[in-house]
Amino acid sequence: MNWISIADDDYDTMLQKDSRLIASDIIDFIIYLRNEKKLAPASINIQIAALRHFYEMNDVELKWNKIKSFKEEFHSVVEDRPYTKEEIKILVDRADLRNKAIVLLLASSGVRIGAIPGLIIKDLEPINQYNLYKINVYKKSKAKYITFCTPECRKAIDVYIKWRESLGEEIKPESPLFRRTFDREDLLQIKNNPQTLSLSTLNWNINTLLHSTGVRRRNQPKDDSARKERREIMQAHGFRKFFDTTCTLNGMDGLYVEKLMGHDIGIKAHYFKPSSQELLEGNDHKLGYVSVIDALTINEENRLRRENEMLKVNKSEIEQLKEQAEKYKSFMSVVNPQIEAFQQEINNLKLHLNNGINDRK
């Protein structure tokens, strides 16, 4: 509307032109976005989809196949990559309690950033056997699915929640998992109706953290087109790509990865119905989330602590086996002489019977 010089709220003017002129305007707009704004085909698709929806809802028939022919075929403008573990560690080390928990949640669960504002306390179910959280994403929508976070992330979330409690907030099942910044000196503001962290604020916080740590540098645009320059790492989606790449490279079953990321797996979804326990633990043929916890753990100290805990568990199991072995040896030391005496009696009886048979002969 800005491009064709129509006021923001003047939708009637958009409908008064002949359909051929409307189509011509849209084609010119596509060429403008492609050649001057240097937008990627995927970005152009989003804008044209909004226009198509508008005109179809207002019963304006346009030749969309002809219009779409002016768009380029899909291609990546920049070959992006996931965040590395080292880059995520830099962010975690510099972040405050809330942002630390958010970054770890994005990296260790693969959840979309758009799902975070909707999470509430009761969407997280503790699984104490593995010291992690099961997370119910989009719980009230058709797109609902489950994923998990690492023990490292669970600890960061717990620390953040306890901090809020220490300031006077009453944490309820319906409380937002991440709330807006508040005045720590205003007890009424802390207690009454905590506000959910908005998506725009969430994106701004992550963007600020990336720039302040140097993980992603700010653009220094010389003109308007430079402001749209693509980055090597996608701001939020880079965490999701880290999760996918890490899980896949460390052997988790591909379909499990897709399920934990909330991806649409097509008609397969009607037949492939793994339980949450299978997604977590895997089975004899497929590796689940538990198998990649160490790879998804960002802080080396946390990973070593987890390995140490696992070694303690294994050592305890070994000690139990040793104790059982000693009990078995003790038992056998009593039983063996009895078995030997019984065997001797059998041998004597056989000898006696054989002698008896020979005497009768």
Q: Are residues 261 and 114 in the same domain?
A: yes
Give the pLDDT confidence of 123-142 residue by residue, as tens digits.
Answer: 999 999 999 999 999 998 88
Q: Are residues 264 and 199 in the same domain?
A: yes
In a domain, 341, yes or no: no
CA 126/CA 138 separation, integer angstroms: 18
Q: Which residue in this structure is represented by tokens 């001797």?
A: 344
Phi, psi (deg, nearest 5) at residue 263: -75, 150
In a domain, 162, yes or no: yes
Q: Are residues 30 and 55 in the same domain?
A: yes
Q: Are residues 23 and 129 in the same domain?
A: no
pLDDT at 227 over 50: no
Task: Specify the pLDDT at position 226.
Answer: 45
Among the listed residues 273, 243, 289, 262, the one whose alpha carbon sits nearest the alpha carbon of residue 144: 262
Phi, psi (deg, nearest 5) at residue 147: -145, -175
pLDDT at 162 over 50: yes
Domain final residue pick, 292, 326, 348? 292
Residue 178: which CATH number? Answer: 1.10.443.10
In one-letter notation, the amino acid at residue 73 is E
What whole-number percentage of the chain has pLDDT above 70?
A: 89
pLDDT at 106 over 90: yes
Q: Are residues 61 and 155 in the same domain?
A: no
Task: Specify the pLDDT at position 294.
Answer: 95
In a domain, 128, yes or no: yes
Question: In sequence order, what are the beta bridge partners of 252?
Answer: 287
In a domain, 107, yes or no: yes
Tokens for 183, please give them.
């005045």
Q: Are residues 62 and 158 in the same domain?
A: no
In a domain, 344, yes or no: no
Give the pLDDT confidence of 337-350 residue by residue, as tens digits.
Answer: 888 888 888 888 88
Q: Are residues 137 and 286 in the same domain?
A: yes
pTM of the model: 0.70
Q: Are residues 177 and 211 in the same domain?
A: yes
Q: Are residues 176 and 245 in the same domain?
A: yes
Domain final residue pick, 242, 270, 292? 292
Q: Are residues 50 and 176 in the same domain?
A: no
In a domain, 102, yes or no: yes
In a domain, 135, yes or no: yes
Weakest mean pLDDT among 93-97, 207-211, 274-278, 357-361: 357-361
CA 312/CA 154 separation, integer angstroms: 21
DSSP structure string for 70-107: TSPPP--SS---PPPHHHHHHHHHHS-HHHHHHHHHHH
Q: Are residues 26 and 131 in the same domain?
A: no
Tokens for 96, please give them.
């405050």
The range of the structural domain enclosing residue 51 comes to: 11-68
pLDDT at 9 over 90: no
Q: Are residues 45 and 160 in the same domain?
A: no
In a domain, 360, yes or no: no
DSSP structure string for 278-309: HHHHB-SSSB-GGGGHHHH---HHHHHHHHHH
Better pLDDT: 143 or 335: 143
Angle at 223 between CA 220 and CA 226, to 5 degrees: 60
**Rounded mean pLDDT of 279-306?**
88
- Sequence-distant (6+) residues with CB within 8 A of 113 are 106, 199, 202, 203, 206, 236, 237, 239
Domain final residue pick, 68, 97, 113? 68
For the chain, the domain total comes to 2
Rounded to whole angstroms, what are the CA distances from 306 to 101, 126, 237, 280, 298? 18, 17, 27, 17, 12
**Consecutive H or E run containing 347:** helix 300-360
